[in-house]
Chain A
Amino acid sequence: MVRVFHILLVSSALIMLTAGSVQAQETALPGDTASDVLDTVPPGPPCSLTVRDYLENSDFGDKIEIEWGLSPDDGSGAGDVTGYVLRRSLAEGEVGEKLDEITNGTTRYIDESVEPGTEYYYSLEAYDGANSSEPVLAGPVAGRANMFQWSRLPVLVLMVVFFAMVAWFTAAAGKGAKLFVRRIPGLNAIEEAVGRATEMGRPVLYVPGIGEIDNIMTIASLNILSHVAKITARYDTPLIVPTARAVVMSAAEEVVKQAYAEVGNPDAYNPDNIRYLSDAQFAFAGAVNGIMLREKPAANLYMGAFWAESLLLAETGFEAGAIQVAGTAMVSQLPFFVTACDFTLMGEELYAASAYLSREPKLLGGLKGSDWMKVVSIALIAAGIIARAVGLESFVAWFQTQ
């Protein structure tokens, strides 16, 4: 019994002793160990430091690329390098102000805060948590703006190919080549709609969208307006053109006035029918709806850039019983027009309308060029799919622009 008690006593003492040792280790403060106290050795400096104007993606001269060789104590040697401190100055020999701290193992940094044309000096030092190495200096270097954005080269190449096709077909059309253009029912319907309005003795409403004059859809719409105005001038049917932009109103006035003059019916032109309503989207929609309900046009033509007001206009026109033809390149609005209008020009058909209506050979050349460019695009898409499937990433990467 005494022997057992003795064993227990000794075991308890040993356990307490062990526990005390563990506790002592846990409460030890940094610096109490020999290694913490004695680390006064700075790490080795970076092996090299190279600075140059950033050229990889062509910039505005506001980037400088910095590359260095790792410190001998980064990943090898003492292996205690925790990072690097990058400094920048405007004078040679100066260490300069701290620009950034970079994690260990990194060998490249892009300084995106430089003034184009200003010369800078850089210094880099390795850091181990307690000491810094000797700085390595480099410079001077200045950011220079590039004269060509090389990352956009594919765009330029495809643009030149496309323009060459358009030019070739335009020249061919000018020499009398017959160019086939498929039938576009929506455009054939415009003359029928104007004819119907004439028979009913009611006006034609032409809405050129709510885009500004710098929107290419608005320009395409003005081209179509010119043809529509000629038809209404020929039939002596009133043409109402409500606009949401003052410049578009001015341009529409010129287009309609000229069309009436060309047809030989300038007296039929009424400047009060080319109306500026409002820049505010829904105020414009409300005002156009008011025209539809009060002046009861027999044909509503919506051509141009439309946003949420598209359905407000088209549904009101449908309720008013007008024949409706719409055309827009706004993909999100196409379903609304398709639903509420009798005919809809989808996407590119809006841009094809002017050539289709006028049958001008030079304009038809542009259509043919677009068609052939679509063939090229489909071929490139197929090539891209195959290239990715077989791991030819360089081909895919060539088309990635910035």
Chain B
Amino acid sequence: MRRQFPLALCFIAGLFMAIQYFIPHPTVQNFYERLLIWLQTLLAFAFLLGTVSLVRIHYHKIKHRADDRGYSWVTLFALCLMIGLGFFSSAHHAQGSPFDMMFQNVQVPIEATMFSLLAFYVASAAFRAFRARTLESTLLLVAACIVMLGRVPIGDMIHSSIPTATRWILEVPNLAAKRGIMIGVGLGMMATSLKIILGIERAWMGGGD
């Protein structure tokens, strides 16, 4: 029963989700929208599980005096502070509230910093990728140089055909390759979905092969 019930539920829900795409009748569409609301509700409850896991892991690190337990203190302090501000400060969503101040002045700048690091990582990854050691990597290097020059004004100043070549590279060979991958991805998604709906693929539910 522990195995059969989830499989039956998966089959019914999966079949309904596939069928509803073809039926515009309000009865079906309303039920579909209701299912999506149920999903959101489930996800909201699951958030509590995540918080419990976070607290448990960092509590264990502190308890066992792990080397990096300082980070665990910071994490738990930040968690408690934000929960406290959220629960006990009135109108915590209002602009200028302590909760909002912490979010806007701590969380947002830290995330922006992480995102901005991407520029440096792109440069270091490109440096490795553009080494002309084989024919393929040489082609990649040449294509990358044309595309980079074609995206900035200096490319047009060097030669007017560089932006045109850039567009051609992006819109013809690049797009063709992307579409090829996307067709494969679409079919792979459908095949995986079918195997899950029919219960052929069960590893995802912890049931082994």
Contact = CB atoms under 8 A, between A and B. Distances in A.
* Majority secondary structure, B binding face: helix
A257 B206 contact: yes
5 contacts: A149-B24, A159-B190, A255-B205, A340-B125, A373-B187
Given A222-B203, A290-B71, A363-B200, A276 B50 contact: yes
Contact of A146 (B24, B60, B122, B192): B24
A347 B184 CA distance: 7
Contacts of B60: 272
Interface of B: 18, 21-26, 29, 39, 42-43, 46-51, 53-54, 56-57, 60, 67-68, 71, 107, 110-111, 114-115, 117-118, 121-122, 124-126, 128-129, 178, 181-185, 187-196, 200-201, 203-209
A149 B191 contact: no
B24 A339 contact: no
Interface string A329-345: 10100101011100000
B192 A366 contact: yes
Contacts of B122: 311
Contact of A331 (B125, B185, B204): B185
Nearest to B122: A311
Interface in A46-79: 58-61
A352 interface: yes
Interface stretch (A24-32, A134-142, A186-194, A211-219): A211-219
Contact of A370 (B48, B54, B128, B187): B187
A272 B124 contact: no
* Majority secondary structure, A binding face: helix
A148 interface: yes
A246 B49 contact: yes
Given A216-B193, A366-B195, A227 B49 contact: no
A232 to B, nearest CB: 15
A315 interface: yes
A201 to B, nearest CB: 17
Interface in A268-292: 272, 274-277, 279-283, 285-286, 290
A366 B23 contact: no
B203 A255 contact: yes
A280 B107 contact: yes
A59 B24 contact: yes
A329 B57 contact: no
Nearest to A291: B68
Contacts of A334: 181
Given A275-B53, A282-B111, A351 B181 contact: no
A362 B68 CA distance: 46
B22 A60 contact: no
Contacts of B24: 58-60, 145-146, 149
Nearest to B43: A247
Interface stretch (A34-42, A101-109, A162-170): A162-170
B10 to A, nearest CB: 11
Given A162-B187, A226-B204, A294-B68, A149 B29 contact: no
A360 interface: yes
Contacts of A366: 191-192, 194-195, 200-201
B179 to A, nearest CB: 9
B187 A339 contact: no
A156 B22 contact: yes
B29 A369 contact: no
A199 interface: no
Given A258-B208, A340-B125, A374-B183, A212 B114 contact: no
Contacts of B193: 216
Nearest to A314: B125
B183 A377 contact: yes
B189 A329 contact: yes
Contacts of B46: 245-247, 250
A262 interface: yes
A272 B56 contact: yes
A94 interface: no
Contacts of A358: 203, 209
A216 B182 CA distance: 14
Nearest to B29: A60
Given A223-B201, A249-B53, A282 B114 contact: yes
